[in-house]
Chain A
Amino acid sequence: MIRRPVMPWRSLALAALAASVLGAPLSAAPRQEQGAGAEQAGGESEKKDDAKAGEKGEEHWFAVLGGEVHTGTGAVLRGATVLAKNGKVTAIGYDLDVPPEAKTLDAKGMLVYPGIVAISSQGLIGNSGSDFEDTIDPFNSRMILGLAAGITTTGAAGTAVKLKRFSVQGAVVRDKIFTTLSWSGRNPAGKRSLREKFQKTSEYLRQFREWEEKVKRDKELKEPAKKDVDTTILSILKGETTAKFVANDRDDLLGIARLAEEFGFRPVIEGCVEGWTVADELGRAGAFAVVTPRERRPKDEQLAAPAGSSIENASILHKAGVQVAVVPASEGVDLGGLVGRDIMHITIEADFAVRGGLPEDAALASITTVPARILGISHRVGSLEVGKDCDLIVTDGDLLHYRTFVQYTVVDGKLVYDKEKELFFAHIRPRPAALAPEKKLDKGESETKPAEEKAGEEKAKEVEKKEEPKKEKKEEDK
């Protein structure tokens, strides 16, 4: 990551705070007071959460201290604290009042990023491909490896699921996200029929909307007939579900872009290898592209127009306004076969997009905010903002650097992965002592300790004092 010139601490903090306030208007200000005062600052949704937690009588605080916080919205806060309550971020900034009961994670000397969102993966949440609420395996080794890669949320079979370790409840964030459609030059009849479906459905929708307006005045008016209306297409046009295509050929991509522009929906296109040749059209159609930058494909030499794969694909698409998400070639945790091209190397895959010219912030977005947006869950995950889920990773270096390891992963305000404790990578470049700084005290200074400990120590001292005179007496006896 290109470092910004070092700014004076305070001004940077204020700038960054302002950014986070803009991102989420609710209670971004640091907690001034503990207890009731601070809660009043919270929005209504937060109050509801409080009520829920209140039933159990529990409040879970979690704080990541002193890391270089990359919020994923553009802001970088050096040495800032991320504070979360019951799994939601309540504040990001400096000089926060962290409740004494909060569990804390010291991130000094390390970097804090939002948890990675893998647009699709296999096996991270168990062996099943559906009914994740009932089938998730939260103790799965592949889940640990996914968390080790920094992934905190994944798409699987049209569902967005969190890598919520140690719990089977509340893992599914959203389901029935996609409707997969086919648009291929090899099947002209299919293309024709799909277009017809869109035509008829959009015609119906237009009539329906018109009727909706008119029926307010004339209650006798009949509802337009639903004849020939495809319900899945209707839900796409209404924006209830997202249309997904798997397409790589230039012609297909063009066709999809035109279809989307004509009928007014935003398609998600997986593959999109030749997308760079028609980037403007895709950008105008508001398409999302899910690309694998290392995907290679030769050009059909019979074609005059540019075709085939390009290392610049992600970069060109991004410049044209296409939202680019990156996914590796293999969606599973693959320890054989495509080594280094499995879901564990999602950051490395994003690196290849950077190599092709994609700006680094866009590369970070391609594995965080963009996939969250595609999955329709960007109100909860993808970036570190007040009010969103506290899903974050702590790394020992730039997230996109090949040398970087994820040191800690946090999901819903709970530490679920610690590189030193899991046996997979603990031995590779063990966490340097410098990253877990020792506290240096000057001569004559003592460490400030919580009130309870102090009280305990004082008691101990008193006991010692009482015992001392006895010893002296004994010595005298001797």
Chain B
Amino acid sequence: MVLARDADTNMSLSILLLAFPLALGASPRPADPSASSDLLAIRVGRAETAAKGTIEHAVILVEGGKIVTIGEDLAVERGIPIVDKPGWVAMPGLVDAYSRLGLDGEGGEDNSPEVRAFREIYPGAEEYQEVVKYGVTTLGLYPAGNGIPGQAVVVRPLGKTPEEMLIQDPAYLKVILRAASSSKKLVRDGFKKADEYAEKEKKAREKWEKDQEAKKKKAPAKKEEKPEEKKGEEKKDEGKEEAKPEAKEEKPPAKEEVFVPPEPDPKIKPFLDLRAGKLHALFSISSAGEYLHLLDALGKEKLSFDLRIPLSRDSDIFYVEDKKTYDLEVDGIGDRKCRVVIEPMLTLHPGTMRQRNPAMELMRAGAKVVFVPRNDALADLKAWLPNVGEIVGAGLDRQAALRALTIEPATLLGVDSRLGSLEKGKDANIVFLSGDPFQPSTRIQAVMLEGRFVFGEVKP
């Protein structure tokens, strides 16, 4: 039987369970049992899990595109094919959360929150085959355009149709906020119209409820059932309005008496979703001033949001990292615990030659950093890991840098429960490197996407 030196009993138990059918067959040969499963064990010198630190002499067991287990020096049942690479380092597949790779559409009108990037996907694009070679296994694609361009989508760079590529749609609503009246107005108007809709819905509901009461008076036959139903309704009224129609479906007896809220304008729906927490906002700002304008435009709207800040050589974003340093009147980026999508680069204090490390400073202030390549081009995707290495060299915490490439972007995209780290149960998106991920001499040896090697010649 399999013996695991791992302290985690659950883990060893799962291995036991997995190995059970093999043992029943009592066959020393792997041929029969492995025909039904595609179990594969990979033994590497070290695994950077991104979520639970580093595992030396790690063994990763993969089946059905998922990581079955991962641990230090796990013994592997005879018969399970093993890829034995003691010189390699494994890390989760890179997640580029903010990209337009393979898309060539142009943005339409400025206010198009209803647009989905999913519609733009062209699975035949060569970039997708190329990008896996650089270790990128997940892409967050955003729609083109200014103002509010629309909603992003999460895809795997693999598949013949958009549906095959799809992981999740939508991922986030992209909103570009500039220090301009027109731009701030777009955001303010969006929420204003959402208010108007909420008012409209409330009136429609009141009218419907009145009609219902009138009906009940007309038909007093089912007296006993009615009060119960009413109680149920009242309870739901206290909760969120959007949840109501779904909840009603569960109750078959009240068939014809379902309140159907008026259909919101497609341009308003994303704002309703933002408020209800169904959709996540990613605001693109380019300077510290625009951060304040963003908060000004949001006003009293309580919204948790993330930020995209394209770094320039003399970025001034450090002014709004936290409230304390510059005595701001509002909470800083770190105080709000925002995720910040930035390039791995060092900047200069404006007007001087004094170097700053925005990623490190933002993280110290409490923000979470999501790295994206310096440019949205293949050459920059190739240089992505080494570029992050430079920032690590300039002082950024290694583990934080790893997270900024994997689990943090996955969380931004809302897919952190299924990918972004080397953990049991997650997608087997793994990059195998010849050494430390942040050493310039390190090369990518192989890339696994959902259990399949999509780059590198690897045989058990």
Measured between beta carbons, the chain B residues less than 8 angstroms from A140 are 289
B289 touching A131, Cβ below 8 Å: no
B288 touching A139, Cβ below 8 Å: yes
B327 touching A137, Cβ below 8 Å: no
Give Cα A137 to B289, complex, Å: 5
Measured between beta carbons, the chain B residues less than 8 angstroms from A144 are 351
Measured between beta carbons, the chain A residues less than 8 angstroms from B288 are 138-139
A137 touching B287, Cβ below 8 Å: yes
A166 touching B326, Cβ below 8 Å: yes
- Chain B 82-93: CB-based contact to A (< 8 A → 1; otherwise 0): 000000000000
User: Which of B181, B292, B316, B326 meets A168, CB within 8 Å?
Assistant: B292
B180 touching A135, Cβ below 8 Å: yes
Taking the nearest CB of chain B, how far is it from the CB of A411, in angstroms?
Answer: 12
A141 touching B328, Cβ below 8 Å: no
Asked if A65 CB lies within 8 Å of chain B CBs, one says no
Give Cα A136 to B291, complex, Å: 12
Asked if B184 CB lies within 8 Å of chain A CBs, one says yes
A139 touching B329, Cβ below 8 Å: no
Measured between beta carbons, the chain A residues less than 8 angstroms from B441 are none
User: Which of B179, B183, B327, B352 meets A136, CB within 8 Å?
Assistant: B179
Taking the nearest CB of chain A, how far is it from the CB of B21, in angstroms?
Answer: 64
Give Cα A109 to B277, complex, Å: 57
A139 touching B179, Cβ below 8 Å: no
Give Cα A197 to B339, complex, Å: 60
Measured between beta carbons, the chain B residues less than 8 angstroms from A128 are 179-180
- Chain A 84-107: CB-based contact to B (< 8 A → 1; otherwise 0): 000000000000000000000000
A139 touching B351, Cβ below 8 Å: no
A166 touching B319, Cβ below 8 Å: yes
Asked if B124 CB lies within 8 Å of chain A CBs, one says no
Give Cα A139 to B292, complex, Å: 10
User: Which of B179, B320, B329, B352 meets A137, CB within 8 Å?
Assistant: B179
User: Which of A134, A141, A169, A424 meets B180, CB within 8 Å?
Assistant: A134
Asked if A32 CB lies within 8 Å of chain B CBs, one says no
B181 touching A139, Cβ below 8 Å: no
- Chain B 352-365: CB-based contact to A (< 8 A → 1; otherwise 0): 10100000000000
Give Cα A131 to B181, complex, Å: 7
A423 touching B179, Cβ below 8 Å: no
Measured between beta carbons, the chain A residues less than 8 angstroms from B350 are 141
User: Which of A134, A141, A424 meets B293, CB within 8 Å?
Assistant: A134
Name B178's closest neighbour in chain A (CB-CB): A135
Give Cα A166 to B324, complex, Å: 12
User: Which of A137, A139, A168, A423 meets B296, CB within 8 Å?
Assistant: A168
Measured between beta carbons, the chain B residues less than 8 angstroms from A135 are 179-181
Asked if A108 CB lies within 8 Å of chain B CBs, one says no
User: Which of B296, B327, B351 meets A141, CB within 8 Å?
Assistant: B351
Name B290's closest neighbour in chain A (CB-CB): A137
Name A165's closest neighbour in chain B (CB-CB): B326
Interface centre among A126, A138, A141, A169 (most CB of B within 10 A): A138
A126 touching B319, Cβ below 8 Å: no
A138 touching B349, Cβ below 8 Å: no
- Chain B 316-342: CB-based contact to A (< 8 A → 1; otherwise 0): 100110000011110000000000000
Taking the nearest CB of chain B, how far is it from the CB of A321, in angstroms?
Answer: 41
User: Which of B179, B316, B354 meets A134, CB within 8 Å?
Assistant: B179
Measured between beta carbons, the chain A residues less than 8 angstroms from B179 are 126, 128, 134-137
Name A138's closest neighbour in chain B (CB-CB): B289
Interface size class of B (residues with CB under 8 A): 20 to 34
User: Which of B289, B296, B327 meets A169, CB within 8 Å?
Assistant: B296
Asked if A414 CB lies within 8 Å of chain B CBs, one says yes
Taking the nearest CB of chain A, how far is it from the CB of B12, in angstroms?
Answer: 51
Q: How many contacts between A and B, using CB within 8 angstroms?
A: 54
Give Cα A203 to B354, complex, Å: 65
Measured between beta carbons, the chain B residues less than 8 angstroms from A141 are 350-351
- Chain B 212-231: CB-based contact to A (< 8 A → 1; otherwise 0): 00000000000000000000
Give Cα A169 to B327, complex, Å: 14
Measured between beta carbons, the chain A residues less than 8 angstroms from B319 are 139, 166
Give Cα A139 to B180, complex, Å: 16
Give Cα A138 to B287, complex, Å: 10
Which parts of B180-214 form the interface with A (CB within 8 Å)?
A: 180-181, 183-184
Measured between beta carbons, the chain B residues less than 8 angstroms from A207 are none
A139 touching B184, Cβ below 8 Å: no
Measured between beta carbons, the chain A residues less than 8 angstroms from B180 are 128, 131, 134-135
Measured between beta carbons, the chain B residues less than 8 angstroms from A168 are 289, 292-293, 296
Measured between beta carbons, the chain A residues less than 8 angstroms from B328 are 166-167
Given contacts A126-B179, A135-B181, whether A167 and B351 have CB atoms under 8 Å apart is no
Taking the nearest CB of chain B, how far is it from the CB of A390, in angstroms?
Answer: 15
Which parts of A106-140 form the interface with B (CB within 8 Å)?
A: 126, 128, 131, 133-140
Name A414's closest neighbour in chain B (CB-CB): B327
Measured between beta carbons, the chain A residues less than 8 angstroms from B184 are 134
Measured between beta carbons, the chain B residues less than 8 angstroms from A166 are 319, 326-329
A139 touching B316, Cβ below 8 Å: yes
Measured between beta carbons, the chain A residues less than 8 angstroms from B351 are 141, 144, 423-424
Give Cα A120 to B319, complex, Å: 27
Taking the nearest CB of chain B, how far is it from the CB of A135, in angstroms?
Answer: 5
Taking the nearest CB of chain A, how far is it from the CB of B361, in angstroms?
Answer: 15
Measured between beta carbons, the chain B residues less than 8 angstroms from A136 are 179, 289
Taking the nearest CB of chain A, how far is it from the CB of B326, in angstroms?
Answer: 5
User: Which of A133, A167, A423, A424 meets B329, CB within 8 Å?
Assistant: A167
Interface centre among A131, A137, A141, A168 (most CB of B within 10 A): A168
Measured between beta carbons, the chain A residues less than 8 angstroms from B329 are 166-167, 169
Name A142's closest neighbour in chain B (CB-CB): B351
B292 touching A167, Cβ below 8 Å: yes
Name A131's closest neighbour in chain B (CB-CB): B181
Name A140's closest neighbour in chain B (CB-CB): B289
Taking the nearest CB of chain A, how far is it from the CB of B432, in angstroms?
Answer: 44
A138 touching B352, Cβ below 8 Å: no
Give Cα A140 to B350, complex, Å: 9
A126 touching B349, Cβ below 8 Å: no
Interface centre among B288, B320, B328, B329 (most CB of A within 10 A): B329
Measured between beta carbons, the chain B residues less than 8 angstroms from A424 are 351
Measured between beta carbons, the chain A residues less than 8 angstroms from B354 are 423
Given contacts A139-B287, A166-B326, A166-B328, whether A134 and B181 have CB atoms under 8 Å apart is yes
Measured between beta carbons, the chain B residues less than 8 angstroms from A131 are 180-181
Name A130's closest neighbour in chain B (CB-CB): B181
Which parts of A153-182 form the interface with B (CB within 8 Å)?
A: 166-169
Which parts of A347-393 form the interface with B (CB within 8 Å)?
A: none
Taking the nearest CB of chain B, how far is it from the CB of A56, in angstroms?
Answer: 10
Give Cα A138 to B328, complex, Å: 11
Give Cα A423 to B326, complex, Å: 15
Give Cα A96 to B288, complex, Å: 38
Give Cα A168 to B328, complex, Å: 10
Measured between beta carbons, the chain B residues less than 8 angstroms from A169 are 296, 329
Which parts of A384-429 form the interface with B (CB within 8 Å)?
A: 414, 423-424
Given contacts A134-B179, A134-B181, A166-B326, whether A139 and B289 have CB atoms under 8 Å apart is yes
Which parts of B259-289 form the interface with A (CB within 8 Å)?
A: 287-289
Give Cα A135 to B296, complex, Å: 11
Measured between beta carbons, the chain A residues less than 8 angstroms from B292 are 138, 167-168
Give Cα A133 to B350, complex, Å: 24
Give Cα A331 to B327, complex, Å: 30
Taking the nearest CB of chain B, how far is it from the CB of A413, in angstroms?
Answer: 11
List, sorted by A's number, 16 A–B pairs whose CB atoms are closer than 8 Å: A128-B180, A131-B180, A135-B180, A136-B179, A137-B179, A137-B289, A138-B289, A139-B288, A139-B289, A139-B316, A139-B319, A166-B328, A167-B292, A168-B289, A423-B351, A423-B354
Known: A134-B184, A134-B293, A169-B296. 10 other contacts (CB 8 A): A134-B181, A135-B179, A135-B180, A137-B289, A139-B287, A139-B320, A166-B327, A168-B292, A423-B352, A424-B351
B residues near A (Cβ < 8 Å) are: 179-181, 183-184, 287-289, 292-293, 296, 316, 319-320, 326-329, 349-352, 354
Top 4 closest A-B pairs, CB basis?
Answer: A137-B289, A134-B181, A139-B288, A168-B292
